[in-house]
Amino acid sequence: MTSASGSHARFSAPAKKNLGQHFLTDAGYIERIVMAVNPKPGDRLVEIGPGQGAITFPLLKKHGKLTAIEFDRDLIEPLTHAAQAIGALQIIHRDVLSVDFTALADGGKLRLVGNLPYNLSSPILFHALDHAASIEDMVFMLQKEVVDRMAAGPGSKVYGRLGVMLQAYCTVTPLFVVPPEAFRPPPKVDSAVVRLQPLPPAEIAVRDHRHFANVVRAAFGQRRKTLRNALSTVCDSAQIEAAGLRPDARAEQIEVVGFIALANLLASTHSE
């Protein structure tokens, strides 16, 4: 592993296929990610899956302090040892899906960064979304296809549940593509770096998270169906029309604000 920002901390460990590990080794892309994060004094940086420390050590050198969440026990000791000469690294040895980001923030705001494992990227994104009020922003590297879905708009073939759910709560900004040869071992697909910035609470129009999640899940459960049919277990045609939507439209044609309007209507109906 070659790290950037002049840090010479390095160690080598075999990538574990069952954990979806692909270690970033290209110094140029490492530097671009560090620049995208651009930590400021007082920031509370939390890295998900530090791996061999490709992003960890340059961020630590720049910021002096970092919390890392690592599931692979074999990486804990070498990360701890390599970080000693650079800065204060706290490692949480846990599955990230079991980490309470709100508790970790302790009343402040976290800045999340990470090269997310392909096989867990969506669950990690939804987990972070549950704690969005305690997160300032997220700079993640994921499979490019996932980033495309996160940022897609209505009418796109890749517009779906993931993009609607994220865009209702965050500003999603794709930053740049990272090719397979930047990793060891190289994945079979391109990756991409994306920034997610949770919206201020006053700008989040969703009134009931559960109703919204149910509507979006049902709407995209069978993409080829019209809203009337896809949402038959959630609401009726009259309610769809009352929200300003056409019952014969398909989910991929509906803007995020349309799903929010329908979910809010259903939430108000159920609360009466």
Q: Provide the CATH number for the domain around residue 155.
A: 3.40.50.150
193 and 222 belong to one structural domain = no
Q: Is residue 1 part of a domain?
A: no
Domains: count for the chain: 2
102 and 55 belong to one structural domain = yes
Q: Is residue 2 part of a domain?
A: no
Q: In this prediction, what percent of the chain has a pLDDT beyond 70?
A: 92
Q: Is residue 11 part of a domain?
A: no
168 and 218 belong to one structural domain = no
Residue 208 is labelled as binding a ligand = no
Residue 100 is labelled as binding a ligand = no
What tens digit of pLDDT does each residue of 88-141 get? 999 999 999 999 999 999 999 999 999 998 889 999 999 999 999 999 999 999
Residue 252 is labelled as binding a ligand = no
138 and 194 belong to one structural domain = yes
Mean pLDDT of the chain: 92
Query: Rounded to two decimals, what is the model's pTM?
Result: 0.91
Residue 49 is labelled as binding a ligand = yes
Residue 70 is labelled as binding a ligand = yes
Asked which of 17-26, 65-74, 131-140, 156-165 is least confident by mean pLDDT, the reply is: 17-26
The tokens of 180 are what?
């397979």
Range of the domain at 145: 17-203
Distance CA 191, CA 183 (A): 10
Q: Give the domain-ending residue among 203, 232, 251.
A: 203
Q: Is residue 7 part of a domain?
A: no
Q: Give the domain-ending residue among 161, 186, 203.
A: 203
Q: Is residue 8 part of a domain?
A: no
Q: What pLDDT is attached to residue 222?
A: 87
Q: In this prediction, what percent of the chain has a pLDDT beyond 90?
A: 84
Beta strands in the chain (DSSP E): 23-24, 44-48, 65-69, 88-92, 110-115, 135-143, 170-178, 183-184, 191-198
